Every structure is written in C-alpha cells, then in structure tokens.
A and B are shown apart, each in its own frame.
Chain A
Amino acid sequence: MQPFNYVAVTQQQQAVDAISANPAAAFLAGGTNLIDEMKLNLQTPRQLVDINALPMANIERSPDGGLRIGAMVRNSDLAWNDDVRQRYPLLSEALLSGASPQLRNMASTGGNLLQHTRCYYFRDVSSPCNMRQPGSGCSAIDGYNRIHAVLGTSDKCIATHPSDMCVALVALEATIHIVGPHGERDVPINEFYVAYGDDPAKLNVLNRDELITYVALPAMPWAKRSHYLKVRDRASYEFALASAAVALDLDGRTIREARIALGGVATKPWRAVEAERRLAGQKAGDALFQAAADDALQSAKPQKFNAFKIELAKRTIFKALQDTAAMG
C-alpha cells in the first residue's frame, strides 16, 4: 500500500475543502472497496479524508412522502429499516443479497453507489485495462469474460457494474444529492452513470471534488409490490451473474406501470425500459412476462464466455415478474 496522510473531518464543509485542496485525496467511508483496492495498489491516494463522522447517517421521511437516505447510512441499517422493508422491499432484498453481514455493517450508501467493477483484469494492475489506463486495451474482451456484461458494452470495455443496491435504486428512480465547492445539485440515478463509449475511465458524473450527501427515494406507494431476485453460482456471498429488481403497479390483473432493472449483466445498473413498455397497460401473465424478458435482452451482445447470461437474465426477469405479481 502506498503511504498516505490521514485526516478525519466532522463537518461537510471541511470534507469539501479537503478534497478540493488536494487532487491526490480520497474520501474514506466504509472502506470496503477503497481499502481493498489500496492493498492491490489499484488506488493510491496520498491523503485519506475520513468522512465517517459526518452527520449523514440518518434515514428520514421526506416532506413529499418519500425517503431521504444519508450517504453514511450503513448498508445493513438501510436493509433492516422498517420503512424500507415495508415501502420499498426490493431495496431491502437487494441490500441483503449483497456481500456479507460484516461488509454490510461497514459499507455506506454513498460508497455502494461508487464501488468499482470486480473485473479481475481491472483489479490486476499488471493487466492492460482501458478503465484504469485509457488506451491500454481491454484484457477481458479477448480474455476470460464469464462475469462480464452483455448490455451497455463498448469495444473499449465490457466490465459489469457489481452493485445490488444500485439496481434497486435505479428501479425506484432515486435521486443523488451532491455537494461541491460550487454548490449543491441533484442527479437522477439514471443520469449518474456514464456509458463506457470510448472512455470507460469516466464512470459517473460525480466530480473529483464533490461529496454525495444523501439519496432520495420518491414517494411511490406501489413500490410495496416489489422484489429483487439474484442468481449466482453460490447460494450467498457472491456477485450476481444476473439479477432483476421489479416493481409492479397492479390494478386487479392489469399492470398500470412496471419498473424493471437489471444487475450482473450490464455496465451500469440497467433500467430495462423496453420491457417496462411491453408490460404497461397489459394483463399480467406468463406469455407477457416472457415477451418482456425477451425485449429486455434484445440488444444484448454476448462475449465468448458469457453468452449464457442472456438466457439466464431472461429467466431471472420472468421469475421476478411472476413472484412480484403473485405477492399478496
């Protein structure tokens, strides 16, 4: 690990000042991705600004009936929160399907949004990687790419976004609140992640000197009927091969509106808008669900070792839709 200075801040302004003043500084929250990567010399900040003491650890109802989640809320606390479990169950299920209890006790909401791909070529500093070093090449495209993406890829990068929480947040159309030296802004999560295109190094629209302070969930009463289904090799403690976050607004058997988001198969938490359009206004049923699943993977591009993900993702969507429609 490269040497660094350490400072702990207690106020938001101190955090923004510290990160603005030093281009080689990084925020330390839960540390479950950052410390891991620093041990691999994947990240080499010269200063760590510890933000664990910032007053961002609350979950509160918003005036509009939604939910405001502080960026330092631990993943476990978010998952077990009564409001989240009752009103946004897909978010609770998504969080509890990720990592391990120990990691969930440490990991923060903000950190989960910003976590890096687990592509093993990205994580190995001796491998060519366009995400780490633009222009150096993509080792995964001609390498072993079983865990890589089939949606959103470019010819520069096929790395999968690993988060479960983010998939649920995308389905919920969450908004990310950001503070920087020039003020505050809100970014809808669907605009937060940037397509790889020719430059996979730019992962999201957060500037280097900005701090995520909270995530806002809209009031969405029908989010009660929602579910997160995660499919992977092991029964637990592993990233998704394919996952689906689903919410259905049912009027009898008619689907007024649907939200479908995918994990494990895409370069960013993936909103399956084509599938949602297929479902809107239709009567719930297996044939419809199958058609929606097919729509969602229509543009999928397989690699040498991950073609199975296309069929797997379809079946995951299908089952998630069935289970969500059948909820009491």
Chain B
Amino acid sequence: MDQQGSSPKTNPPSPGAVSRRGLLTAAAFGAGVVVMPWLNGCTGTARQQTEQSPQQPPPSPAGTEAVTLQVNGQSYALRLDPRVTLLDALREDLGLTGTKKGCDHGQCGACTILVDGRRVNSCLMLAISAGGKSITTIEGLASGDSLHPMQTAFIEHDAFQCGYCTPGQICSAVGLTREGHAATDDDIREQMAGNICRCGAYPNIVSAVRQAMQNKA
C-alpha cells in the first residue's frame, strides 16, 4: 500500500486511469490547439500539457522540503515548498480534490478534514507540518463500496444541493460525533457553525447529523 519515491504521487495512481478533472483539462487544451494553431508561442504550454498526461506535476523546484503524508491509510512521500497548505497539497499534489477551497482563510469550513481524528481547517495548516499525522479526507470515509453512516445520512436527508460545502460538512460532522458533546439539535447547529452552506441546506444537514449521531450509539 505504500507509495514511496521522490516524485509526487497522484490519486488514483494507476497510469491508464483518467479522472473527470483530467478529461476536462485535456479536452479544453485539445480544443484550443486545434482551433488556434498560429498562436504557437502563446499556447506552447498548452501543447505541452496535451502531450503529457494533465495529471503530471511539474518537476520539484529548489527550496522544497521533504514530508511524508499519511492520508486515508496510504503513505505519500512529497517534496513541497514550505508555503504549500495541507489543503493545496491534498488537492494539487495528491489529486484528492474532494476537499474544497472556499475562502482559504479558515472562515467557511469547506476545507474541513480530520487530522488524528479531529476536525480542522486544512487551508490554515502547512503540509510540511503535517508529517506523521493520520489524515482522513472525504475520500477516506467510505470502506470500499460501503458509505460511511454520515454519508448515508446526508443522502437520505437530502442534506446538500450544489454539494460544494458537503465534503467539509460531512468531515466536520464526523468530527463532531467523535467529540461527543452534542445532545440536542441546537447543539448540532452550534457545533456545525464552522461550516457555511450558501445553498441553505442547514435544516437537512442537522437532520442528517442527528440521525448518524443517534445510530452510532
């Protein structure tokens, strides 16, 4: 299960697999090259992108530090600029794009993940400081094809509309349940206050969290 090595690993790692993001990126660049061949200089980078897999990261620049991140039970050896947040490392270097960037300043909760079992805002953590910690993202909650009870509850209670805040909501709710301090719906509302939802799915989120919390007992 370990993926050691000096080059950053993406997930899913299998060379032949194309993710939704990769397909859309390739299609966008592919279309650009066909339509405007005379802009050779300007689209030089775009050409390079289509010739390589879009998931291939650029070579590691100087001034990087080594860190091994334990994410969803797998080990990733990375070399990162110290400035890279844990959020950006998960999304850009590991291809785990389930965790979302909302405000990038710890004010919206979209980036919520679990670190050593506790919910945190990954946008305010540095990736190089996260070595040796057990990191769980939204991608790591399910066991194979079995959804986490919180994920099931969110579906059953229609607890999302656009879905952008949802990975953060679910991870936050899992953290809330582990903390064990919520008894009433008002407790849930207060303890989920760190996750904002522009679509306003709040009432259904509360129902989902209540259900998952109660079933856990």
A residues with CB within 8 A of B: 1, 3-6, 8, 28, 31-32, 35-36, 39, 48, 50, 52, 76, 80, 99-103, 105-106, 235-237
Contacts and interface: CB of A to CB of B under 8 A. Distances in A.
A50 B126 CA distance: 10
Interface extent on B, as a size class? 20 to 34
Nearest to B113: A102
A6 B121 contact: no
B65 A32 contact: no
Contact of B126 (A32, A35, A100): A35
A3 B82 contact: yes
Interface string B81-102: 1110100000000000000000
B193 A100 contact: yes
Given A35-B125, A39-B104, A103-B106, A4 B82 contact: yes
A8 B194 contact: no
A166 B137 CA distance: 33
Contacts of A4: 82-83
B102 to A, nearest CB: 12
Contact of A1 (B83, B106, B124, B175): B83
A293 B79 CA distance: 57
Contacts, number: 82
A30 to B, nearest CB: 8
A102 B107 CA distance: 10
B212 interface: no
Contact of B172 (A36, A48, A102, A235): A102
30 contacts: A1-B83, A3-B81, A5-B82, A6-B82, A6-B126, A31-B126, A35-B125, A36-B105, A36-B106, A36-B124, A48-B126, A52-B129, A76-B179, A100-B195, A101-B119, A101-B176, A101-B191, A101-B192, A102-B106, A102-B109, A102-B112, A102-B172, A103-B121, A105-B118, A105-B120, A106-B124, A106-B125, A235-B193, A236-B189, A237-B193
A236 B82 contact: no
B124 A35 contact: yes
Contacts of B189: 236
Contacts of B105: 36, 39
B205 interface: no
Contacts of A48: 82, 126
A8 B130 CA distance: 11
A6 B118 CA distance: 24
Contacts of B194: 99-103, 237
Given A39-B104, A101-B172, A105-B119, A31 B124 contact: yes
Contacts of A36: 105-106, 124
A76 B63 CA distance: 35
Given A102-B112, A102-B119, A103-B121, A32 B106 contact: yes
B105 to A, nearest CB: 5
A100 B104 contact: no
Contacts of B129: 6, 8, 28, 31, 50, 52
Nearest to B81: A3
A4 B82 CA distance: 7
A240 to B, nearest CB: 15
Q: Which one of A52, A76, A100, A103 has the greatest number of beta carbons of chain B within 10 Å?
A: A100
A80 B181 contact: yes
B128 interface: yes
B113 to A, nearest CB: 9
B63 to A, nearest CB: 7
A263 B191 CA distance: 22
A50 B67 CA distance: 14
B2 interface: no
Contacts of A50: 129
Contacts of B125: 31, 35, 106
A48 B82 CA distance: 9
Nearest to A238: B193
B73 to A, nearest CB: 21
B51 interface: no
A102 B192 CA distance: 9
Given A52-B129, A106-B125, 7 more contacts: A1-B83, A6-B82, A35-B124, A80-B179, A100-B121, A101-B194, A102-B119
